[in-house]
Amino acid sequence: MKIGLLGHGTIGAGVDRIIEEISCMEVKSVMSLEVDDSFRDRHVEDIDTIVNDPEIDTVVEVMGGVEPAFTFTSKALKAGKNLVTANKALVAAHYKDLIALSEEYGGAFRATASAGGSIPWLVNLERAKRVDQILNLSGIMNGTTNFILSKMKDEGADFDDVLKEAQCLGFAEANPAADIDGPDIRRKLNISANVAYDVLIAEDDIPTFGIRNVTAKDIENVSSLGLTLKLLGVSGKTDAGVYAYVEPTLLPGSDVIAHIPANYNLIRYEGKYAGVQSYMGEGAGRYPTAYNVVEDLFDILAGTKHFYSTEARETVPDNSIPVHRYYVRTGAESAALSGITEEQREGFVLTKPVSVQEMHGVIKDILTSDPAAFMAGIPE
């Protein structure tokens, strides 16, 4: 297998290094904005050099972002080349398009590392679907936010201080919005739900509430309830439809997810026959993510081309299906919140069971007058 590598940053350098030790693979060309001595002799200036090279049969895209990644990968697929990507933004935005190009031109399309880093998550969903029916899936899908919430709980630290530590350790970007506001999880959930239920959900149709507003006092309040706060992606499929959402969630000690430490992820699905299956590991990082990219390359060599279903149908999530109580902390007056409040505590309220759709609408309204408000779901 001869490979054209798009991107030689953190993940790309990891992929290149691993492949150096594999006799049946070779990174022949590298396209990257920054060039160093490790690949200077293989560097090319434009995508056409890779696309038009008849020796290159596979393109690995680890550039990140939607564009120019989609333009480049589209060209590769149209040239009949296999595509492996770790780019969750690309896959979430153009899942349908990449599937169509792969089908039309015959190249493989795999993206295991786009949802879960090193965790063999999508491949096990793919495997489970051969026999089982996936009823629901959920979990910690972002190591940065889990690191922040774990430190806040264990040390009583303030959000801003822990965020700065996460940035210093390289867990969080200089602009941490994709992590703390939830888009990173939303993209991974989007991809996972599409694979699990054979659907095509638009990323923007998944309601998302992050942890930007969580305070040390919230963590204290949650502990007083005997619960632990985690930021989760959740989806499921019922006779009524498919649902999907991202929100802070309060979990009891009996739930293993409540005990996942530091920057680790744990994602799980419930099957009709297999019951609950959980997968834990590092959700990001140079070699953990690069490992799953190379695993996809081996799958292609073995003849496994896809992780998706060509039967996927466009679906809008129905978030009136999941119903549970919520923790809400706000200083604003809200008639809508008062109407669903079950219990008033000092500094926060606990709601009656309410649909995810309704509660996300309520908190959206509250934020217009109290931008520091916070909520978290309490599953039954």
153 shares a domain with 236: yes
78 shares a domain with 210: no
Does 118 score more than 90 pLDDT? Answer: no
Final residue of a structural domain among 267, 294, 319? 319
Residue 329: predicted pLDDT: 98
Is 155 within 8 Å of 164 (Cβ atoms)?
no
What residues make up the domain containing 169?
Answer: 122-282+315-319
Residue 69: which CATH number?
A: 3.40.50.720
183 shares a domain with 264: yes
102 shares a domain with 128: no
Separation between Cα atoms, residue 79 and residue 361, nearest integer Å: 45
Does 11 score more than 90 pLDDT? Answer: yes
In a domain, 300, yes or no: no
358 shares a domain with 328: yes
What's the chain's average pLDDT?
Answer: 96
Q: Which residues pair with 174 in a beta bridge?
A: none
266 shares a domain with 127: yes
326 shares a domain with 240: no
Residue 336: which CATH number?
A: 3.30.70
Cβ-count burial 59-72 (b if 16+ within 10 Å, e if not): bbbbbbeeeebbeb
363 shares a domain with 244: no
377 shares a domain with 260: no
In a domain, 256, yes or no: yes
In a domain, 288, yes or no: no
In a domain, 294, yes or no: no
Is 111 within 8 Å of 296 (Cβ atoms)?
yes
The predicted model scores a pTM of 0.95
Final residue of a structural domain among 63, 83, 110? 110
* Least confident segment among 3-7, 244-248, 308-312: 308-312
Q: Is 188 a catalytic residue?
A: yes
- Which pLDDT tens digit goes with each residue over 276-295? 999 999 877 788 889 999 99
- Which pLDDT tens digit goes with each residue over 354-369? 999 999 999 999 999 9
In a domain, 375, yes or no: yes
Final residue of a structural domain among 110, 141, 160? 110
- Which pLDDT tens digit goes with each residue over 140-190? 999 999 999 999 999 999 999 999 999 998 888 889 999 999 999 999 999
Domain count, the chain: 3
In a domain, 299, yes or no: no
Separation between Cα atoms, residue 8 and residue 63, nearest integer Å: 8
Does 310 score more than 80 pLDDT? Answer: no
The active-site residue, picked from 188, 217, 237, 305, is: 188
Separation between Cα atoms, residue 60 and residue 92, nearest integer Å: 17
29 shares a domain with 53: yes
251 shares a domain with 133: yes
132 shares a domain with 106: no
In a domain, 20, yes or no: yes
In a domain, 87, yes or no: yes
Does 212 score more than 90 pLDDT? Answer: yes
